[in-house]
Amino acid sequence: MSNEISADDKNLALLAHLLGIVLGFLGALVIWLINKDNPQKAFVNDQAKEALNFQLTLLIAYFVSGALIIVVIGIFLLPVLVIGNIVFCIIAGIAAGKGTEYRYPITLRLIK
């Protein structure tokens, strides 16, 4: 088996990360479910799981931020989460497009 990552796999991994900006966890979930049982798509599987875990972590953070709006902190936390999502998804997408495995910081590994 070759360690070379195909251009299609790099593009799928890139897409798994960038879809998080507009679709949340749904884009990464679909890509992961389609490729999870294919051993030839190990890079896509790994990066889609990473993107999915990050988006699920963000979803939890959005709920916490929403609850904290009552005490005003959530009003400031929500824009930080949105901007962080955009920035980290772009960084991860660039890394995946180059064929490099990316790990998001402060992410719960819910899907193993």
For the chain, the average pLDDT equals 93
Whether 1 shows a pLDDT value over 90: the answer reads no
CA atoms within 13 A on the CB side of 68: 12
pLDDT digits (tens, 9 = 90+) for 64-98: 999 998 988 889 999 999 999 999 999 999 999 99
Stated pTM of the model? 0.90
Over the stretch 10-29, which tens digit does the pLDDT of each residue have? 999 999 999 999 999 999 99
Checking if the pLDDT of 2 tops 70, the result is no
